[in-house]
Structures are given as structure tokens and as C-alpha cells.
Chain A
Amino acid sequence: MDEKPKRIILSEEQKRSRRARSIAIALALGALAVLFYVVTLVKGPAVLNRPL
């Protein structure tokens, strides 16, 4: 069987868009990690206290 599996070839525009989206997701996740870190510093041990 010489049949090659079908593959999706991305155009340059699609590659550019995907890269921009990936960078945006990375930045958002990084910002979330920094946010949790800073809030932990600010709250100290009270970070475990989560009142209703």
C-alpha cells in the first residue's frame, strides 16, 4: 500500500495566525502564573483562607 495519509498543509497566513495565537496563549498563561505568585506574596499564609 503506497497510499500516503492525507495531511493538512497550512498556508503562510495560517501559520502566522497560529503563531500569533500561540504567543497570546503563552503570554496569558504566564500572566496568570505571575498573578498567582504575586497574590500569594501579598496574602501570605492567608492565601489558604478563602471566605465566602
Chain B
Amino acid sequence: MSLVSEGAELAGNRASSVDQGPSIASVGDYVALMKPRVMSLVVFTALVGIMIAPGHLHPVIGFTALLCIAVGAGAAGVLNMWYDADIDAVMRRTSARPIPQGRIAPGEALAFGIVLAAFAVGVLGLLVSWFAATLLAFTIFFYVAVYTAWLKRWTPQNIVIGGAAGAFPPVIGWVAVTGSISLEPCLLFLIIFCWTPPHFWSLSLVRADDYARARVPMLPVVAGLEETRRQILLYSIGLVPIGAAPWLFGYAHTIYGVTALLAGALMVTFAWRVRCECEGDRAERAAYDLFAFSILYLFVLFAVLLVEGSVIGRAM
């Protein structure tokens, strides 16, 4: 397919989803717009930020903060799906989403996203902290305007820079408790920031044709599979000391340090397999394994921090 006809197909997808009658969208469709799986990781990392922060936050206020961060993440997901409806329609992984399927009109999704974002930021500011609310508003803006509307279609470094949006939730959780930012939440930010590229690129390795069809300049499409595998390995190696940083800086106990180093070593091993297995099903399997393990990696690191922080107590 030529680039011209691909462009026409993209434009056609955007236009065809505009003219619709009364909505048949279910509540589940609106929930799907909020990217619940992404929300779950956001909620978990934000919870860790809240739990390990020094100081006391009433459980009801803590729950409110967590709810607002979750809804804010959902709003960002909705606005992302609204803007990306044209490329979602031509990608196999995303073509079943509610907007490309015509179950929700783009205008409805836009209104839904704006309302959710306004409520999340407003309620967080009114009931918890305006500093945390400002950070949440910036995170939504960064994900929608900087990542989705600008970087994603412009540079293969899209998910490297855009990964910052996913790294903010634990910082927002921390700020909700303390009202300030220190080195510790910045380290949590860095862990997620450096974890994002190998996590996303391992998935994009097996979806490279999908991204090429949608004309999204992901690294495998622009720089090739070989270079992507090299970058995945480099970021995974860099992630080992960054993952262990909370322990190296004295913010976490030895249990966390050992866990982070072991998990980091496993992450590098999986990335090395991706680097070595370049052909056929084995290459695809290696990429999927790294993708799956990277989720486990982040979960384990934050879970250990959570347990240490709430059971053993803070290291410093």
C-alpha cells in the first residue's frame, strides 16, 4: 500500500466515525476508553508513593487522592484514544477500541475526557492538595498534548520522553502526603522513566508492521529491529543501578536492594535473549517474554517498597 493511500485510509477513518446517530455505547465502552489496565499500574505506583511518604494522611484522604489520580489517568487515556482514533483504526491491536468501532463518537469521548480530567484535578485540589492537583493536571497535559499529539507521530524517541507521564503518579502520591518533592520520589520517577523504553519497545518489536501501517515512527519502524534490540539491552542495563537507587541512597532496606539487583539481572537476561534471538517465532517469543517480565519487574520493585514502608518502616 502506498503512503498516499495509507493517508487517505487514515483520513477516512477519522471522517467515518464522526457522523453517527443516537449512541449505543455501553458503560463498559466508556470504561474501556479509560484504559483500565494502564490505570491499575498507575494506581499501584501512586499507592506506593502515598504509603512510603513520611507523614500521616487520613485513610479517607489517601483514598481520595488515589481515586483522583486513577480518574486523572483514565481521563488521559480517554483523550489519547480520542486523538489517536485514526491510527487506532488501522492497527490490529487497537482496531477494536470503542471509537474506531463507532460505538462512541469522537465528540463524546472528548467531552468525557475533559469532564473526567476537570473532576480529577478539581477534587484532588479541593480535598487533598493543590500542589498534587497541579502535578496531576501537568501529567494529563504531558500525556495528551506532548506525547500523544506531538511526540508520538513525530519522533522515534516518543516513548522515551513520553514515558515521563507514566512516571509521575508515585510523585503525585508522595506530594499528596508531604506537600513537597524530595529526592526519594524523584528516584521512583526515574525507575519508571527508564523502565518504559524497554517495556514498550519489546512490544513494538512484534507490532512493527502495525506501527508502520499507521505511520507511527516507533523505533523499530524508523531505526530497524536490530537497533531497537540494541537500545532495549542498553536501557535494561541502565535500569539495574537506577532500580537499586532507593537502596543505594539509603531510602530502602537490604531486602529491596537485593530484590532490585536480582530483578534487574533477570531483566538484562531477558533483554539479552531479545538481542540474540533475531529470527522467526523465537524472536517474537523473546520479545513477549521481556514485555511480560518488565511488568512483573516494576510490580515487584514497588511491592517490596510498599511492604518495607508499611511493615518494616522507612530506612531513613
Q: Which residues of A contact B (CB under 8 A)?
A: 8, 10, 13-14, 17-18, 20-21, 24, 32, 35-36, 38-39, 42-43, 47, 50-52
Tell whether A17 pairs with B24 under 8 Å between CB atoms, given A35-B64, A38-B60, A39-B64: yes
Given A39-B60, A50-B125, A50-B126, 12 new contacts (CB under 8 A): A8-B21, A14-B22, A17-B23, A17-B26, A20-B26, A21-B23, A24-B30, A42-B60, A43-B58, A50-B129, A52-B129, A52-B130
Given A51-B129, A52-B129, are A42 and B58 also a contact pair (CB < 8 Å)? yes
B64-A51 in contact (CB<8A): no
Asked if B24 contacts A14 (CB within 8 A), the reply is: yes
Which residues does chain B contribute within 8 Å of A21, judged by CB atoms? 23, 25-27, 30
11 contacts between A and B (CB under 8 A): A14-B22, A14-B23, A17-B23, A17-B25, A21-B25, A39-B64, A42-B58, A42-B61, A51-B130, A51-B179, A52-B131
Given A17-B23, A21-B25, A50-B125; A39-B61 close (CB under 8 Å): yes
B22: nearest residue on chain A (CB-CB)? A14
Number of A-B contacts (CB under 8 A): 51
Is the contact region of chain B dominated by helix, strand, or loop, or is it mixed?
A: helix
User: In the complex, which residues of chain B have a beta carbon less than 8 angstroms from the beta carbon of A18?
Assistant: 22-23
Contact in complex: A13, B24 (CB < 8 Å): yes
Do A10 and B60 have beta carbons less than 8 Å apart?
no
Docked Cα-Cα span, A43 to B127, in Å, equals 9
Tell me which residues across on chain A come within 8 A of B126, comparing CB atoms.
Answer: 50
Q: Give the residues in chain B near A10, CB-CB below 8 Å.
A: 22
Kindly list chain B residues whose C-beta atoms are within 8 Å of the C-beta of A14: 22-24
- B26 — which chain A residues lie within 8 A by C-beta? 17, 20-21
Smallest beta-carbon distance B154→chain A, Å: 34
Chain A residues near B67 (CB, 8 Å)?
35
CA distance A28 to B303 in the complex (A): 30
Q: From residue B3, how far is it (CB to closest CB) to chain A in Å?
A: 39
Whole-angstrom CA separation of A51 from B58 in the bound complex: 16
Contact indicator per residue, chain B 1-43, by CB within 8 Å of chain A (1) or not (0): 0000000000000000000011111110010000000000000
- Interface membership of B123, Cβ < 8 A: yes
Indicate if the CB atoms of B179 and A24 lie closer than 8 Å: no
